[in-house]
Amino acid sequence: MDAVQDEAAGKRARGLDRAFEILDFLRQKRQALKPNEIAAQIGAPRSSVYELVNLLLQNGILEFTGGEGRVYLGRKLYFLGAAYENHFDFTRECEAALEQLADETRETAQFCMLDGNRYTVVRMREGARPFRISTDVGQSVPIPWTASGRLLVAHLSDQEILTFIPPQDFRLPNGEWLEPQTFIAEVRQAEREGLFTFNSIVDSFTHCFAVPVRGEEGHAAATLCLVTPRDDGIANRDRYLDCLKKAAAGLDHAPTRPKRG
Amino acid sequence: MDAVQDEAAGKRARGLDRAFEILDFLRQKRQALKPNEIAAQIGAPRSSVYELVNLLLQNGILEFTGGEGRVYLGRKLYFLGAAYENHFDFTRECEAALEQLADETRETAQFCMLDGNRYTVVRMREGARPFRISTDVGQSVPIPWTASGRLLVAHLSDQEILTFIPPQDFRLPNGEWLEPQTFIAEVRQAEREGLFTFNSIVDSFTHCFAVPVRGEEGHAAATLCLVTPRDDGIANRDRYLDCLKKAAAGLDHAPTRPKRG
DNA sequence: CATCTATGTCCAATATAATGTACATGTGAT
DNA sequence: ATCACATGTACATTATATTGGACATAGATG
């Protein structure tokens, strides 16, 4: 998970980009880190990171926490995030949909979106029979690793998909290489059928179901997913897909609709 | 609500600071704006704002919404804010406390914190008899205008308070000037008593009650407040304060305690 | 038609931000 | 004691980011 390094090496990075690289890195790590550690792990000059961290601390974007000079995301980010959530008011409806899915299926239900050019679980409702879920809420994951990923990029052309997804993200967690053309074929299939299901690539014991939640532009702004034990998933496939489609219908056009204006 | 302009005029502003100035401005406005409008209203060079807005759009920090090139806070901010909330896990306990207060008093209850050098309502639970609340959730308000403000700066020295609060924030909404020494005296009184109550300065018909929620460092990391009609507030003063203290006790040390680590 | 404002783009000038390097300190291992 | 490493600070250099202003367009107004 190294620095993106933009395009050319040897160029200076822009402060803003580095700053958000730091913030994203802390989000991924989900823990407070020393500036020195941040610099080492994202491959940025230490002096730059110290400079930026101090600026971000002054702005309340970062906060000291965890002692020994460690920093983590700050309160200001919470306020800004809350303003976003308030504007694009999807939380309430989203929770209701997850609740409904949990009631009807007793399985783990997730609401997922793109985070830049990766996939992330925005909200999750654990099933009645909890097992170790491979991806936590808020972690970003390569798009090709997920069922939802097939739906979330379906509005792009083949070429756009290849440009959009970082090439190394086609390397699966087990080390295998997923041929981009294979992935694209699955995207088109998912687009036609309005759903995608498969045995998880990330672990060896779950089956994943994903259906699109359509935004104002008509394409998948988010997905609703079920993550089930493989036997259960295959046994209840039709019923689970019905539940998902019903729940997604209740959200359609919602995730991107502003509350006012 | 003009730009902070930092210290000296005529100096170039740092991109990072301008960027967060833009974000904060959009949060205050709570609506999408055109880059041109942003530039005009925060008093920044148009070319700079266009440049920064484009950078922020690329990073997902801002998003196009509302048409005609208008931009608002982006999804990335939501993710970062959610990570903050997840780390400093105060939401669940906070909601429970507000719920409890609402049950016991039927009045409007608020959970408030500092946002930089101003005050903001983080969460609110409307009372049974709703009236027009003068400050919305997420709006930042001068510290001296609020009861909570007396508690939230009580850990600072007199001199630090004067440095911390922007001088113009002592100008009350009705145009009167609140003498900083008067304010400081009220801060010290609130500190001794562990509470502050007054007839609202912002409107003419409510009474405000505030008690501290203490963080790890022992000082007020947040406050719990009740906003009541003046008659009710004065009639039920003792009971309301008991309710507040009970609820705050349940939150103490919570707002700043990390879930892990 | 002429004028004014709102909006967005482009570009050169220069103030300065990002960086590499040196320095200082503490800690643990050899 | 000596070395290696982690951590933080200070500063000069130079690549570049910020800025002012020119330019283009579209509506609105008189």
Residue B89, pLDDT score? 86
Q: Check whether residue A190 and residue A103 sit in a common domain.
A: yes
- Residues from chain B that touch A19, judged by Cβ atoms under 8 A, are 16
Whether B92 is covered by a domain: the verdict is: yes
Residue B129, pLDDT score? 78
CB contact under 8 A, B77 and A81: yes
- Residues from chain B that touch A15, judged by Cβ atoms under 8 A, are 14-16
Segment A85-100 mean pLDDT: 91
Q: Check whether residue B112 and residue B72 sit in a common domain.
A: no
Single residue among A80, A101, A134 that ends a domain in this structure: A80
Cβ(A215)–Cβ(A251) below 8 Å = no
Q: Check whether residue A62 and residue A175 sit in a common domain.
A: no
CB contact under 8 A, B55 and A115: no
Q: Check whether residue A129 and residue A38 sit in a common domain.
A: no
CB atoms within 10 A of CB B21: 22
Q: Which nucleotides of strand D come closer than 7 angstroms to any CB of the protein?
A: 6-11, 15-22
Residue B255, pLDDT score? 46
Whether A124 is covered by a domain: the verdict is: yes
Whether A261 is covered by a domain: the verdict is: no
Decide if pLDDT at A51 tops 50.
yes
Q: What is the DSSP string of B2-69?
A: -----SSSSSPPPHHHHHHHHHHHHHHHTS-B-HHHHHHHHT--HHHHHHHHHHHHHTTSEEE-SSTT
Which residue on chain A is closest to B24 by alpha carbon? Answer: A80
Please provide residue A92's backbone torsions phi and psi, each rounded to the nearest 5 degrees: -60, -50
Residue A254, pLDDT score? 52
Tell me how far apart the alpha carbons of residues A156 and B42 are, in angstroms, rounded to a whole number. Answer: 37
Q: Please tell me which residue, A256 or A160, carries the higher pLDDT value.
A: A160
Tell me how far apart the alpha carbons of residues B158 and B180 are, in angstroms, rounded to a whole number. Answer: 10
Residue A113 belongs to domain spanning? 88-251
Whether B259 is covered by a domain: the verdict is: no
CB contact under 8 A, B17 and A59: yes
Residue to substitute from B87, B112, B120, interface A, most A β-carbons within 10 A: B87
Q: Check whether residue A222 and residue A238 sit in a common domain.
A: yes
Give the CATH number of the domain where residue A186 resides.
3.30.450.40
Segment A227-232 mean pLDDT: 93
Residue B190, pLDDT score? 97
Closest Cα in chain B, distance from residue A5 (Å): 14
Whether B257 is covered by a domain: the verdict is: no
pLDDT tens across the length of chain B (261 residues): 343 433 445 578 899 999 999 999 999 999 999 999 999 999 999 999 999 999 999 999 999 999 899 999 999 999 999 999 999 988 888 999 999 999 999 999 999 999 999 999 999 998 887 776 778 899 999 999 999 999 999 999 999 999 999 999 999 999 999 999 999 999 999 999 999 999 999 988 999 999 999 987 889 999 999 999 999 999 999 999 999 999 999 888 754 444 443
Q: Which residues contact B149 (CB under 8 A, 6 or more apart)?
A: B119, B142, B143
From B32, B84, B120, residue closest to A77, measured CB to CB? B84
From A17, A59, A258, residue closest to B20, measured CB to CB? A59
3-class DSSP state of A241: helix
Closest Cα in chain A, distance from residue B227 (Å): 22
- CA geometry: angle B179, B149, B168, nearest 5 deg: 45
Q: Check whether residue B56 and residue B160 sit in a common domain.
A: no
Q: Check whether residue A109 and residue A234 sit in a common domain.
A: yes
Which residue on chain B is closest to A78 by alpha carbon? Answer: B81
Residue B1, pLDDT score? 38
Give the CATH number of the domain where residue B59 resides.
1.10.10.10
Q: Check whether residue B93 and residue B221 sit in a common domain.
A: yes
3-class DSSP state of A51: helix
From B16, B20, B138, residue closest to A82, measured CB to CB? B138
Q: Check whether residue B214 and residue B107 sit in a common domain.
A: yes
Residue A4, pLDDT score? 40
Which residue on chain A is closest to B113 by alpha carbon? Answer: A75
CA distances, A201 to each of A9, A83, A173 (Å): 33, 35, 8
Nucleotide with the nearest C1' to A11 CA: D15
DSSP 8-state assignment for residue B179 = P
Residue range B203-254, pLDDT digits in tens: 889 999 999 999 878 899 999 999 999 999 999 999 999 999 999 998 887 5
CB atoms within 10 A of CB A29: 15
CB contact under 8 A, A87 and B30: yes
Question: Is the CB of A47 less than 7 A from some atom of nucleic acid strand D?
Answer: yes
From B19, B73, B81, residue closest to A78, measured CB to CB? B81
Whether B65 is covered by a domain: the verdict is: yes
Burial (CB count within 10 angstroms: exposed 0-12, middle 13-18, buried 19+), residue A10: exposed
Q: Which two tokens stand for residue B189?
A: 């009184």
Residue A259, pLDDT score? 46
CB atoms within 10 A of CB A216: 14
